[in-house]
Amino acid sequence: MPISLRTRLKVSSVSSVQDPEGRESIRITFVEVRARPPMVTMMPQNAPKGISSIVFQVQQGIQSALPKGLTPFQFQKIVLVLTPEELEAFNIKPYPNQIYEVTITDGALQFKTAPL
């Protein structure tokens, strides 16, 4: 039974480049967007209570200064460099901030425009 994984990726950038053979190509950078994990600070067990209290108050101040909700962060997931013919064969027309649902099954990538 083949394993199938699905993830949502955002087009971060699309640019025109030349491949190593000098052919005009399109470079597409996909990023995965995730919620930023909550900030956690550990204090040593033997730290004085006064210091622990000050660190806790500073943490509270920083968190209240940040916008409400968790700020998402992005990291590069896939970079494709395709000729116009290869891009047409992939049947995608990427533009920045477009979301794709990418399915990986048995060594194959499948791109599908994700609903917003």
Chain segment 47-82, per-residue pLDDT in tens: 677 777 777 777 777 666 666 555 677 889 999 999
Token pair belonging to 41: 């600070």
Least confidently predicted of 9-23, 43-57, 78-92, 98-112: 43-57
When pLDDT is averaged across residues 87-110 and rounded to a whole number, the result is 90
- Asked if 99 and 10 touch (Cβ cutoff 8 Å), the reply is yes
The backbone region for 37, taken as left when phi is positive above 0, alpha when psi lies in -120 to 50, beta otherwise, is beta
Q: What is the model's pLDDT at position 64?
A: 64
Q: 3-state SS of 33-97?
A: EEECCCCCCCCCCCCCHHHHHHHHHHHHHHHHHCCCCCCEEEEEEEEEEECHHHHHHHCCCCCCC
Q: What is the model's pLDDT at position 17?
A: 96
pTM: 0.66
